[in-house]
Amino acid sequence: MIESFLRFLVKQVLIFCVVFPGPISVLAQNTSIKVIKAGRLIDVVSGKLLTNQVILIEGNKIKEVGPSVTIPSGAEVIDLSNYTVLPGLIDCHTHITGQPENYYEDIFRKSSIDNAITAHIYARHTLEAGFTACRDVGAPEFVDVALKRAINSGAIPGPRLFVSGLAIGATGGHGDLSGFSPYLQFNQQSGVADGVDAVRKQVRHNIKYGADLIKMIATAGVLSEEESVGGPQYSPEEMKAMVDEAAMWGKKVAAHAHGAEGIKMAVRAGVHSIEHGSLIDEEGIRLMKEKGTWLVSDVYNDDYILSEFTRLGYPEKIIEKERTIGRLQRENFQKAAKAGVKIAFGTDAGVYPHGDNAKQFFYMVKYGLSPIQAIQAATIQAAELLGEKERLGSITAGKYADIIAVEGNPLEQVTLLEKVKFVMKDGQVYKK
């Protein structure tokens, strides 16, 4: 009886192996170990293009890289021998929880619930475009914190997020709702804070609810209805209080700053980065170099604003401000790059559609950087700005397995980065 049963069991197993060979081979494969065969690899540390490299990945980290790496038995092999492989890209200035559709409807007919419902779409678009990490610099109602948590839990796909929560700005400034009736009120959390004590309290409020960094609105802006493009909107004392309070909690400050005087005030106050930097002057460039302050300049989106924002219903006064600022921003970016200011890649994605982040590479090269410098700005330098250079930014043993691939050689044609073919984040493949 037992012998008959065993013969029957063996027969059934043999039949299963013939009919369903796939699952058996999968079970035999060590799925925690992956190997990428890279035809070309951009070493962003040395700035060199390497050929015929093997990347050994164990779990979510890179274990070994080189031309002679032994491929373990049972490892999953990913053949990218016809591609150029490079680290996952990092965008240090995004607003990943939304993007404009219609100026007045966005203000009056939508709430932060709408942002929360659609944010996962933008996160996926960004990841599939090859951006495996982003710094988000201003979102309503801590939607960015919730999005980060959902991504980190594995509930939804998206880039690694470093978030600021509510942007902190002055009454009537770029972070406030200006140009409307004084009787118009919105029942939502606000980052508006005036005076040293209120600024310190707002920093604490943001950190309490999950902010990784603090976003300061140091000057006026473009896409808001206050009159000035770049006038300072905080006093030196308020700026210093914000930086000092953030530092006490182990956080850094990113300063939205267009105007020359406001840039210098923010740099003297000790901010970690200047966002936009449109009207920076020679003294501001000198100060940034002296203090080691990063420049994160969104030199692509002028094209999108001027071509699309009239259709999106934005007031002419806002579009005219962009006409004034866009060309100057690019010229001053070129001056800062030539002077050796530290530059990290940041696009203001959310002003234009998420997933188009890589369109900025063309403009960074056009206005002063070499292709490898632009790529370094979006990898190893961006990781340094984030304080994550030990974990992100290069294909190096010990770092997270955040890896992308493109056809062709982006060191010869940087726009190839707009068409990423392969995306791995944390050792998991999201696009191939």
Tell me the catalytic residues: 215, 348
* Measured torsion, CA atoms of residues 274, 233, 350, 211, in degrees rounded to the nearest 10: 70
Handedness of CA 187, 188, 193, 197 (dihedral sign): positive
User: 384 vs 5, 42, 273, 337, 378, CA distance in Å?
Assistant: 64, 18, 12, 17, 10
Cβ count near 19 (within 10 Å): 7
Q: What is the largest CA-CA distance in the chain?
A: 94
Distance CA 177, CA 173 (A): 8
Beta bridge partners of 163: 136
Tokens of residue 69, six digits: 């790496």
Please provide residue 57's backbone torsions phi and psi, each rounded to the nearest 5 degrees: -120, 130
Tokens of residue 328, six digits: 């100057």
Closest to 401 in 3D by CA, of 34, 48, 46: 34
Tokens of residue 111, six digits: 């709430």
